[in-house]
Structure 1
């Protein structure tokens, strides 16, 4: 052990630094405190987490949002395999942000080692990658799955580079593990964007091998990488198979309806509609925040000092500034934003310079990937470019919020920056290649700070609303100018200092190691000081404080007094379909999710948003919360016409199309009639029933519903539960015998019930989950077994290797 540490002391030191640095930044997490998330993520998973805590059983269905939906994108506590435990090990088995950011630094360090970067620069580069400001914004706002994928990305890049540069087998296995981690990280959009950014690398290597007349070698490497990809997909089958099955029925799936109802999301188009998908598109000026953190104000709730103009305005109007000041300083083109996507001034400058100084052809991948992500983030504001991807690139139109593509850019920028700096310090080049691009950025920063207020209006998209709220826009404008100016000057000064230290090295005035320390420390200082706007110790709260945030309102308490908890709530006091806050306390017909069931989105567009009471009644909407004159004065209305959990109908109306099915909900009696698509006509030999008897919900679990029926003749029961099928998880039983059920009223379930006293059970048991779990265990065993075998093989002397793995 001592010999190992002595031989690898730099790597051991790096790991210790990463752990200590992560601990220093997030030490309140070790005290049991948690971040006070600004998003409503806690409401999404509350029901299934409570159920798991109480029973030890995982439910893959929740009824807390949108009438009911799978939890695959909400709380995917899937069956575990060996790759999961390897992932946990990379986090030191710490499941908070300390472990997450540690793994991000560790993986970037591995990437730096693959490229032969000096350990000192590799350590600083790893910190700058992991603590890129956008990662802290993702952490603060509760986008944990997105952050997972971002922090795993260096391992994927490292595997690809190793496969092409040194060892195709080990590289492919590292790539496979990185891909498995990424997919298990549970944010397909980020994995997809990373894939787009890596495609130019494949083109660069294809050209290189073609020029060297080694296309056969290129094909071999690609073959190993494909095997690695299939293994990665296999290890994530327990997640992928259910998600693939689910995605077909979501807003991102194939069209259901022919008639479009909304300019936002409709099933009349495959994927997401253009307007809905492009809603969060960067403006060109927003891109400046890549290297000037608050070029356009940073966020809609930007932290200001107590000496700011806005703070003085608040005090003048009798408001306290004791607990800090936040103001709507952001004036870019996004509808709103929680924070800046900032790569670091010095880091960005080094990347920019590296494009001019690196001799490796891989720099063209770095440049292309960076430009690709920056331009795609413009979305509708660069329509001619984005339209091509939206219309022709597979799967691109399944995702929304174009600006989020920049979440995968930091790995590219940080890689180019510190790899490029390593080469600049290792091989002295013409200093003009460093000076001109670097000085150009410095001049731009100072020039923007000085001149931006003169040639840009700095008017935000929400300024009219702020004026209605009583804010003085002139005061806000003055602070916008101050923030933009100071941020620009800070970036320019940091770039200048870094440039000066490189100049000192080239003039033999500063030693190489000192240059590394100066630039590394300045880069880390830059990012950490910026990040304090989003995550700092005061943002952490103990459990009691967090519970206060989710304390029920007066109206919630009033509703919760109902002895029968199996009803739904329609909360009009909040942005109903953009917030999951109400889902923390109730089963709601609203919520927040980017991949809700398409049928339910159609119901929102055509009926719920228009307050169709027949539809609200069939969803068992027993309570409606409406706004009061001020916050805390919300009122609750009881809907006595809600139909309950299940009921029998007299008549079945067969319709020929999905459009007729949903249009039929405009004028019908849900208590007496069920509207059924002709695809289920054979299930119903009789279209009329003599309604009698009773049906009642007797037992409720998120993934299991039990009813008792008592009738004198056969009946058709309609349930106020969301249809998800056929054969996608919900299974029906009558007296413990499996039976078929069908869809009624476009989104609900219906079931033929025989005469007599019967026990009816619906149970959510996705076959895709069971199959996927078995496949995952097999593939993870193969992957890790191969990694151990080839890893040990590579450490043996050449003449004693079990298998020759000479790189191509």
Structure 2
């Protein structure tokens, strides 16, 4: 075997070095100074995961359950490890030791580079497309927000499609191996919505390929290719069977799964699912980043119209500066946004070029992905289409934030753009360039000169005085015009480079380097305001979770209880979860029964309590649902005197003196509004039969997230209620060593029927979805590694004519 270093190795080594250098330079505080990105969602995740991670460190075991938020829930989507899992080692090797989460961007560039090479795009153009793919604003904004799993899942899409593409190019074993590896890692990062979109991308590619080639290739050959790809997908599923099994188990009981209240519909509510719908015209931010004003809080330039208006009103400099530095410039359809979804004007131009330049099959495949994903992102703004998919597409009603479909768009644009560029440069076709330049340039000129056609009015305008609205809208108009002219400048420069290349005035290499500089400069300057050196800190968690006097006061109590933090709310409690078992929390897929409790009981009770508290009446007896959740402390501020102890909290467990039988979930949750949860308990007799009340006492003797022990002394047999969340999978209960059925009481708490006398009770969480899948999962992972090695080996042999 003869290897030409300059041709076979140097371009690829140079490409990987460029990718590594760009990540290291852009994220130098993280890579070189051991700082971390201040990510709000990750800090909240850290709070929710603290109990599980502490338990893992102390015992070497997995808790699998946490009581740190929403009263208690499985830890599958919070922090989950499997002994022997080699995926972390694979990630470290593939990303050359770069730190998480920016290593995902590096691997995304490598994956896109390999994909473009497989489409016979030359290395310099492949490098260009790879950078544009990984460093689009969507990824950088997601990184700033802490959506690390989403970024990783998106950056693995090129690997998945590379595998599919190579299999159809008769490199079946290698293709199946790469597909398996890509899906293995994507499943690992557990972002189901992006994986769903990945399968849509793969489905579109396969469908177009089969339609175009079934006559030429023949159905047996195509079936063989699809069969090999199916094996690759099965290996990836097997390599994540533990994660998938636990996720499937939990999804049934989460807000994404089956209904509990009989009048509700399965899945997410449409208003909730389509809350973040991209505006149809907002799609032009792919071309003009500030088309819709940038982000919801964006600095205005000096002497902006808004600043002048504020000065005229006589506001003090601090107030003026506060508004100018975080002006509500965004005027789009979404509730708020961190910034625009910008695909890079040069890449969009090259994708438009594909209409006339790309091979027909490539144009249809990636054009369909772009159009379809844009339509998905429009959500409620294209209701006839998206509501239909929501109702009929399997599993689609479990997802929210449909603007996330733009990740598909931002994947397809660089692929179509680079294939098109390769085509016209190779064949020296000038006409497609002129047509694409006219279309793209025409749009930019129309929007820059005709910006006055828009009203520039947005939801963020509510509450602003009339005298400020006009100047603010003038500033938004100025932002659109300036951004359009800037995009036009980059377009003209790129057009000129390609034009002179086609006229053979400059070399292909100069073209590639020139476009590389333009794209990198464009994306770098657009991204920098949203993620820059100010986004890094030595230890943001240390500051964020710094112990307050209020928390210190509560920590004096070493008993078992829950905490309600009013400074954060029921749905955003990250800090409280760090040190306490919290009533609130922060998670996108909480247990549905707990969400029902929030909607029907906790929110109304809290509103009533707050109203009375403001009048000096702390009605702890009026928050019976909080009492049954053993809410012993309420935090109203950071000071030590801002902590209120609830004397009516029910404690860890109790023996109710009467049972209220119900026959439906609606009836049961309604009954919670009228009963005293300490002396009365509801039980659904349709599910659990008739249950009698007893007498006695019960106390908690030891606690771990996955194991709780109690001692009971029953003078009369009957129901014991435990202030622990009922979850029908994985929990087992024993009374004096004998397994006993766990009942559900008070809509979502655990209950046991206890005989008379003294008893030792133990609850243990050991779900089969974890323990029966962890060993097969590791076996499949090693099979994937062997498959990759075998695929590379046989591909190299075939290339050298030995098979």
- Tell me if TM exceeds 0.5: yes
Question: Is residue 204 from structure 1 mapped to residue 202 from structure 2 by the alignment?
Answer: no
How large is the Cα RMSD of the aligned pairs? 2.7
- Corresponding residue number in structure 2 for 1:718: 721
Residue 610 of structure 2 is matched in structure 1 by none
Q: CA deviation at 1:738?
A: 3.4
CA contact (8 A) 1:68 1:721 kept: yes
The Cα shift of 1:749 comes to: 0.5
Superposed displacement of residue 729, structure 1: 1.8
CA contact 2:111–2:159 (8 Å) conserved in 1: yes
Contact preservation (8 Å) 2:693, 2:719:
no
Q: CA deviation at 1:248?
A: 0.7
Give, in whole Å, the separation in 1 of the partners of 2:475 and 2:45: 32
Shift of 1:319: 0.9
CA distance in 2, matches of 1:311, 1:759: 70
Q: Deviations over 1:551-592 (max 9, x none)?
A: 34554444344343x322233333432453432343222222
Does the 8 Å contact 1:654/1:681 carry over to 2? no
C-alpha deviation, 1:626, in angstroms: 4.5
Distance 1:80 1:535, change over 3 A: farther
| Match in the other structure for 1:282 | 278
Q: Deviations over 1:707-735 (max 9, x none)?
A: 2333444342111111111xx22222334
Question: Mapping of 1:12-31 within 5 angstroms?
Answer: 12-30=13-31, 31=33
Among candidates 636, 640, 643, match of residue 647 of structure 2: 640
Q: Is the 8 A contact 1:198 1:369 kept in 2?
A: no
Aligned 1:332-351 pairs, distance under 5 A:
332-351=332-351
In 1, Cα distance between the equivalents of 2:283 and 2:799? 50
Q: Supply the distance in 2 between the matched residues of 1:635 and 1:703 (Cα, whole angstroms).
A: 32
* Residue aligning to 2:487: 491
Verify the 8 A CA contact 2:351 2:416 in the aligned structure 1: yes
- Equivalent pair of 1:41/1:142 in contact (CA under 8 Å): no
Partner in structure 2 of residue 412 of structure 1? 412
- After TM superposition, give the deviation of residue 37 of structure 1 in Å: 1.3
Query: CA–CA distance in 1 between the matches of 2:688 and 2:170?
Result: 62
* TM-score, normalised with respect to structure 2: 0.92
* Number of corresponding residues: 779
SS in 2 for 1:280: coil
SS of 2:654's equivalent in the other structure is: strand
Mapped to 1, the partners of 2:5 and 2:148 lie a distance apart of 34
TM-score in terms of structure 1 length = 0.91
On the 8 A contact 1:709/1:757 being kept in 2, the answer is: yes
1:314-713 maps to which residues of 2 (within 5 A)? 316-319=315-318, 321=321, 325-429=325-429, 431-452=430-451, 454-467=452-465, 472-543=468-539, 545-564=540-559, 566-611=560-605, 613-626=623-636, 635-682=642-689, 687-689=692-694, 691-692=695-696, 694-713=697-716
Deviations for 1:419-462, whole angstroms, at most 9, x for unmatched residues?
21111211122x2222222222222123213322x221112212
After TM superposition, give the deviation of residue 341 of structure 1 in Å: 1.5
User: What residue number does 1:265 align with?
Assistant: none
Residues 467 and 633 of structure 1, relative CA distance in 2, 3 Å threshold: farther
- Cα distance, 1:756 vs structure 2: 4.0
User: Tell me, what secondary structure is at the counterpart of 2:40?
Assistant: coil
Aligned 8 A contact 2:286 2:343 in 1: yes
1:165 maps to which residue?
Answer: 169
Alpha-carbon distance, 1:377 to partner: 0.6
Instruction: Determine the structure 2 residue equivalent to 1:264.
Output: none
1:725-740 paired onto structure 2 within 5 Å: 725=728, 728-740=729-741
1:250-265 alignment, distance < 5 Å:
250-259=254-263
CA contact (8 A) 2:47 2:576 kept: yes
Question: 1:166, CA displacement in angstroms?
Answer: 3.4
Partner of 1:44: 48
Output the CA distance in 2 between the equivalents of 1:339 and 1:760: 54
For the Cα contact (< 8 Å) 2:552–2:640, is it kept in 1?
no
- Say whether the 8 Å CA contact 2:30–2:99 is kept in structure 1: no
- CA change 1:796–1:3 in 2 (3 A) is closer
Query: In structure 2, how many angstroms separate the alpha carbons of the residues matched to 1:309 and 1:647?
Result: 65
Mean CA deviation greater in 737-746 or 187-196: 737-746
Aligned counterparts of 2:4 and 2:713: Cα–Cα separation in 1: 74
> Post-superposition shift, 1:679?
4.7
Q: Which residue of 1 aligns with 2:12?
A: 11
SS in structure 1 of the partner of residue 450 of structure 2: helix
| 1:84 shift after superposition | 4.4
Question: Could you tell me how far 1:277 is from its partner in structure 2?
Answer: 0.9
Which of residues 172, 176, 184 is equivalent to 1:180?
Answer: 184
Deviation at 1:755, TM superposition (A): 3.9
- Aligned to 2:659, the other structure's residue is in SS state strand
Distance 1:790-1:254 versus aligned 2 partners, 3 A rule: same
In structure 1, list runs of 5 or more residues that go unmatched. 260-267
SS in 2 for 1:698: strand
1:231-252 alpha-carbon deviations (Å, 9 max, x no partner):
1111100100011000011111
Preserved contact between residue 26 and residue 97 of structure 1 (Cα < 8 Å): no
Between 1:579-588 and 1:639-648, the stretch displaced more is 579-588
Gaps of 5+ in 2: 606-621
Query: Quick check: 2:188–2:243 contact (8 Å CA) kept in 1?
Result: yes
Alignment correspondent of 1:218: 222
1:734-765 CA-to-partner distances (Å, cap 9, x unmatched) read 34443321111111001233444433222222
Q: CA deviation at 1:298?
A: 1.8
- 3-state secondary structure, aligned to 2:719: strand
1:643 alignment partner, SS class: coil
